[in-house]
Structure 1
Amino acid sequence: MTSTPFDVCSAYEHILEDENISTPLASILALVELMENSAAGTMFELVKELKDGAEALKRQSSNSISLSAGTELFIEFVTLFPHDASSFLELKSELIRQGHNYVTEALSYRQKIADLAFDFIKDGSIILTHSYSRVVMQTLLWAHKRKRISVFVTEARPRGLGIKTAEKLTAAGIPSTVILDSAVAYTMNMVDLVLVGSEAVVESGGLVNAVGSNQIAIIAKAMNKPFYALAESYKFHRLFPLSQYDLPTHNSQLLSFSLPQGRTHRNSTASRARPGSNPPVAGIRPSDPAEDRKITQEQIARNNPDVDYTRPDLISLVFSDVGSLTPEGVSQYLVGMFAG
């Protein structure tokens, strides 16, 4: 009887069912489980299996940026791990133990970040946040225990996760209002500071986060409002986008132009009847132009990005478990982190 091969993607999806586990940590735990089920007999074989597992996770994800931050961090850790183990099995067991320990410790990072950000939130502050972020939520709940705060939350289309944020804030007794994404500039004059989470903080010190973060940062900068990013260090990612279109999530299907069915860019009037043209085929109903013109929310979501890139010059500070960093400080930390 043959055993079923380990499915790293299924393990990853199962781990993500835990509300407290973020995407990078889920990817790390999935690779730890892969190690536990690995039959590799050498370090070279084990690292190859981990890299193959990371690639499999990326292929099944529509947004692999924060996932990649976790897998790259863990594989780098495994590759550079100093040891004096007497056997490969002993080394593998130690790596598995260290992986679990890291995730357990990493779950405390949000509170460290909340403690840092707390001092920048004054009593009576009106805060703007975007979409849904676990670390931002923990920071707001922590601030609410000792200070009076009110929160504007963007709707955050296409996923609409701002509504989830507002519901949780309201349940905790924090005054909150959901605003349209298009009402950010209208609202910004009432705001004292902006707090956003992150999918990843990249080598430039810039931010990858839910789409709309960039325009919020631009508006905040124009109105002299501080724009703070909150990010656990496992979201620091060796990626250096120069524009929105350098992100791994960008593809040719995003923001593409479409025409009604049966039309072409070169000749949109080709279907019109002309002298000598063939008559309509009997039994085939011509398409309804009104139906062709209908646009659904699903179509809009498919044609738009999930994340965008915010330049480092638009970010006031990055609050992380390793400290309050300027965007330049993030760059220096990343260099040190992956320098071995």
Structure 2
Amino acid sequence: MPGLATTEANTSASASSEVSFDICETYASFLKNEELSAPLAAILALSKLIETSDGIIPKTIAGTMLELVKALNNGAEALKLSTSNPISLNAGCELFIAFVTLLPHDSASFSDLKLELVRQGQKYAAEALTYRDKIANLALGFIKDDSVILTHSYSRVVMKTLLRAHERKRISVYVTEARPRGLGLRTYEELTAAGIPCTVVLDSAASYVMDKVDFVLVGSEAVVESGGLINAVGSNQIAIIAQAANIPFYALAERQYDLPTHTSNTLSFPLSPAGNVASPPTTGAIKSAHEKASNCDNIRQMTSEQIACNPGVDYTRPDLITLVFSDVGSLTPEGVSQYVVGMFAG
């Protein structure tokens, strides 16, 4: 019967819509836009969760602020569990959830409030995309003609700054390889394509080249309330070397700040089935140092299992950082600490 057919179609469409939203898939789709950083993608994904929380998806029904915040926290937790390095993602989640709970409003209904939250989340993301230009222009004043710069790994805001500096000044860049992902090679390729003299150096050669540079310039995945920096692993040792050599260490932050995050994904030793530290795998006969040094074919490579035991990020103490450039200005680590604490205090 026609009526039954219509009812079945509606039921099928309803069932389909109930499973149509997946916050992890939504987050991944936003990340396909290379202009969007992980925190911004997280904010947009959580905004989408609010947009779909009117009963279409049973797990995200939110009729009160308490239910909405719970849904956002659940969504944030799902996002964090979906990635091996949730720190920068968590920065966006924490910031947006704090904003949701503190936003003053005079909305006529809860539905209107949710629409406003979605609008504000999208507005923030759009504004944040302009921060790189602001930061690049701010940092430009600290880059002199003929500057030699050391950078680490790959950062969108650092790239924006270096390309902006290249338009007006003569610069040259050393970039670390940034193992294990080798993102420094991407930096090298893009800088070289833009005509900037660039040299890739081993992570272990940071000390060797430090006396050749005028300053270090790195990005940040998050800035914690102490004023310290979370960034690609290796940043901390570069900062230590820079301080010892009396070289300025500058960090660029796109206003994605985070409270201290604890993670168990740190450098560790794999356990044997018995629960003891596993013995290193045997590699065959030991070759002479001369043979290993003279034959490039004998260069060892870490296995994926060995790489997995290493952290993707590390923490740089505030006393090692000279200045942090953000969209709110150039700040000392102490100034960053005051700003972050004040922001999360409302």
Report TM bin, short chain: 0.7 to 0.9
Relative distance call for 1:290 and 1:224 in structure 2 (3 A) is: closer
Structure showing the higher helix proportion among its residues: 2
Cα distance, 1:289–1:86 mapped onto 2, change above 3 Å:
closer
1:12 matched residue in structure 2: 27
Of residues 221, 228, 238 in structure 2, which corresponds to 1:199?
221
Cα offset, 1:172, TM superposition: 0.7
Q: Deviations over 1:101-135 (max 9, x none)?
A: 11000000011111111011000000000000000
Change (3 A) 1:295 1:165: closer
- Asked if the contact 1:229/1:315 (under 8 Å) is kept, the reply is yes
User: Aligned residue pairs: how many?
Assistant: 310
Q: Which of 252, 265, 268 does residue 250 from structure 1 map onto?
A: 265
Alpha-carbon distance in 2 for matches of 1:292, 1:71: 51
Unpaired runs of 5+ in structure 2?
A: 1-11, 55-61, 287-299
Query: 1:63 and 1:72 mapped to 2: Cα distance?
Result: 15
Counterparts of 1:225 and 1:207, CA distance in 2: 17
- 1:236 deviates by 1.2
* In 1: Cα distance, 2:306 partner to 2:106 partner: 55
Instruction: Tell me the residue number matched to 2:335.
Output: 329
Shift of 1:332: 0.3
Q: Which moved more, 1:122-131 or 1:60-69?
A: 60-69
Provide the residue aligned with 2:112 in structure 1: 90
Q: Distance in 2 between matches of 1:191 and 1:237?
A: 30
Residue aligning to 2:295: none
User: Of 314, 332, 338, which aligns to 1:308?
Assistant: 314
SS at match of 2:18: coil
Whole-Å separation in 1 of the counterparts to 2:234 and 2:285: 29
Query: CA separation of 1:59/1:169 partners in 2, compared to 1, >3 Å: closer, same or farther?
Result: same
1:221-300 map, 5 Å: 221-233=243-255, 235-239=256-260, 247-251=262-266, 254-256=267-269, 290=283, 296-300=302-306
TM-score w.r.t. length of structure 2: 0.85
Candidates 42, 53, 69, aligned match of 2:75: 53
2:242–2:248 Cα contact (<8 Å) kept = yes
Pair 1:41 & 2:55 matched: no
Q: Provide the residue aligned with 1:213 in structure 2.
A: 235
The offset of 1:238, in angstroms, is 1.1
- Please give the alpha-carbon distance, in whole angstroms, between the structure 2 residues aligned to 1:27 and 1:33: 10
1:302-323 Cα shifts (integer Å, max 9, x gaps): 1211111111100000000111
Distance 1:295 1:115, change over 3 A: closer
Percent of pairs with identical residues: 64
Shift of 1:292: 12
Mapped contact 1:64–1:249 kept (Cα < 8 A): no
Indicate if the aligned counterparts of 2:270 and 2:277 stay in contact, CA closer than 8 A: no
Q: TM-score, normalised by structure 1?
A: 0.86
- For 1:36 and 1:81, the matched residues in 2 are separated by 17
Amino acid aligned to 1:338: F
Question: Where in structure 1 are there 5+ consecutive unaligned residues?
Answer: 241-246, 269-287
Aligned to 1:338: 344
Q: Select the residue among 146, 150, 153 that pairs with 2:168.
A: 146
Partner Cα distance (1:143, 1:220) in 2: 22
Letter in 2 for 1:256: F
